[in-house]
A and B are shown apart, each in its own frame.
Chain A
Amino acid sequence: MTEAVGEVAVTTKEGLHARPVMRFVDVASTFGSTISVCNITLGGESLDGKSAMEMMLLEATQNCVIRISAKGDDANEAVAALTSLVESGMENPASSPSGDPPTASAS
């Protein structure tokens, strides 16, 4: 059993809102390890990284630093994937549907 920990700052402007939360949970759920996430900036409790409900309660707004911990055989890979996902502004991984830029309407 491996344990891994990583810390990362949330850079996206809207923080971990509906879509980023779902992306995080989707990626986290591909790993067998248990994953817990804690918002260090707010000093909050550890929350389940695979739970859509709990990850919304993480209240990870812009500039918050979050700690991602994993326990299990693929713990290292999980932490690496999730920290890079958050670092990249949640637009990773490539498998996710590409977001269209909001279309500006001229009026």
Chain B
Amino acid sequence: METLRGISVSPGVAIGEAVILDAEDYRIPYRSVPSDAVGDELERLSNAFDTAVSEVQAQTQQLRSNLGRDAADVFDWHVGVLEDEQLRKSIEDLIKEKQASAAYATSTVMRNYQRRFMQMKDPLLAERIKDVRDIERRLLRNILGETREDLAHLTKAVILIAHDLTPTQTAQLSGTKVVGVAMDAGAATSHTAILLRSWGHPGVVGLNDVSTRISGGDTIIVDGTNQLVIANPTEETLAEYREKQIAHGRLTEELSELRDLPAVTTDDERVYLMSNIEFPSEAQTGMDRGSDGVGLYRTEFLFLRPESAPDEEEQYEAYSQAIQGVAGHPVTIRTFDLGADKYTQRQNYIEERNPMLGLRSIRYSLQNLDMFKVQLRAILRASVHGQVRLMFPLVSSIMEFRQAQMTVNDALEDLEEEGIKITNPIPIGMMLETPAAAIQVKDFCREVDFISIGTNDLVQYLLAVDRGNERVSQHYTPSHPAVLRCLRDVVRACRRAGVECGICGEMAGQPLYTMFLMGLGLQHLSMAPGNIPEIKKLIRLTSLAKSERVARRVMTFETARQVTNYLRDETRKVLPEDPI
């Protein structure tokens, strides 16, 4: 039995067999083979090439209709490379002359080619280095006998172990038999973590080396509540966890009884609990968990699919589905937050030294006006189906907000010329997630209809901590007094200006901060649908007066640790039996 500690992204217990997702890079050590085994290695190589060719051909066949001609052409080139006699010969020569293993010879030759691609000047052709890597991996997988685990075809419940998952891979977990995830990389607020949370199964990230410590087929317990991953548990531990699994199910059931009750404090303060959603179907999920609407629809997840960028009709369909899912309740649609760790198909990956300070979010949209306008048209058209609000991410200057607003007006005019009239004016707000916007909040209050505080980015920019870097992510905490004071000032400025202010970061979904946020005067808390029942339970057991006292006391602390300890004690008094 081995116990590893990481960072939890979603609570609960999952038990299953480990499936290891391919590591991004195989590191193949030099291994010489005895001279009488050279023949075996050559045969192994030849089989690997043959299998690879038929794999790619099958895949291309399947994808040709979906991917379009260009993408299929690239896979035809993969086949061409795999059938390249010159390439095969240079690998064979290395095996014969140096008595190298097939894996080592393949890796060496393919990496030499990768180095040559790296020296090419034409950016489009140099891009093909990714394909050469892809071909290398495919060959190595075949040589080493590790068949790619195809998640869609699993027949029993498994725990997925990975070094890191891309948001795209994570988005594809729903509908598979994966019941839990453990990975090396990651922090609680990375986009992968956010997706894992909305997926709803237990997950622990930031485990550093779980992918090398665990072997496929090991029995794994993922304890999302206590941030633990246990490999090959003893019978006793396993039995204990089966009990916990049942208990967690009971708690979930108890919380679901709160669904139809409003989030009202004991002194009659109404708080609105909204859902953060990534996929239109989640709007309905949020309502089922007892939410008051959608507070943050992260539309960029429309891009997280292997095919092409979403066109206006597809977007219109998605937004309409989300709006209809909440039946008359408000839906706040945030325009694309692309860039940084979220990339589009259309955007060629350009290495940025500092992507978090780079071309992302509203900046990206304003530099890609055609794409931005298509999105605004789709949102405006869908807005006739309900109460829709529009929100721009990562606004850092007044001019940026005005420019985005002008683009909305352009889209409105275009629609009107086409005979599509949008009668209800759509409220336009911003996400407050840069220190610049926080400092200038008073000025913004004169421009916007509402403000929603995005704490994930605000905290990382205020504290200068990369939330995705596991080496510093322990410094990332919303409990930092600088963060709390910033929130207080923003909420205060909004109240004075009469502008509605809500919060939609991960912080809003953590029971630890609920009393503090209510005490500041925030009445709109937007969170992952899964967090709503517990936050609602807490609100219904406490009072606004008490929360205001908590908020005032919190403001007197100088360290994050004091804040967290104090808030934990206060929250435990209200929810003694829940793990905070």
Contacts and interface: CB of A to CB of B under 8 A. Distances in A.
A95 interface: no
B469 to A, nearest CB: 35
A57 B120 contact: yes
Interface string B117-134: 100111011001000100
Contacts of B85: 50-51
Interface string A76-99: 000000000000000000000001
A72 interface: no
Contacts of B70: 18
A97 to B, nearest CB: 10
Given A48-B86, A50-B85, A53-B87, A61 B122 contact: yes
Interface stretch (B71-79, B172-180, B238-246): B71-79
Given A14-B124, A57-B120, A61-B122, A51 B86 contact: yes
B218 interface: no
B84 A52 contact: yes
A56 B84 contact: no
Q: How large is the interface on A (under 10, 10 to 19, 20 to 34, 35 or more residues)?
A: 20 to 34
B80 A59 contact: no
B80 A22 contact: yes
Q: How large is the interface on B (under 10, 10 to 19, 20 to 34, 35 or more residues)?
A: 20 to 34
B506 interface: no
A99 B83 CA distance: 23
Interface residues of A: mostly helix, strand, loop or mixed? loop
Contacts of A15: 122, 125
B421 interface: no
B121 A56 contact: no
Contacts of B374: 107
Contact of A52 (B77, B117, B122, B125): B77
A86 to B, nearest CB: 16
Nearest to B121: A59
B81 interface: yes
B113 A53 contact: yes
B122 A21 contact: no
B207 to A, nearest CB: 38
B84 A53 contact: yes
Interface string A8-20: 0000001101110
A40 to B, nearest CB: 15
A89 to B, nearest CB: 16
B86 A53 contact: yes
A56 B87 CA distance: 13
A25 interface: yes
A18 B71 CA distance: 9
B250 interface: no
A18 B73 contact: yes
A54 interface: yes
B86 A107 contact: no
Given A19-B77, A57-B116, A100-B69, 14 more contacts: A14-B124, A22-B76, A22-B77, A22-B80, A50-B85, A52-B80, A52-B81, A53-B81, A53-B87, A53-B113, A56-B77, A57-B120, A59-B125, A107-B311
Interface of A: 14-15, 17-19, 21-22, 25, 42, 48, 50-54, 56-57, 59, 61, 99-100, 102, 105, 107
8 interchain residue pairs of minimum CB distance: A52-B80, A51-B86, A18-B77, A19-B73, A18-B73, A52-B81, A18-B74, A52-B84
15 contacts: A15-B122, A17-B73, A17-B125, A18-B70, A18-B77, A50-B84, A52-B80, A53-B81, A53-B86, A53-B87, A53-B132, A57-B116, A61-B122, A61-B125, A105-B311
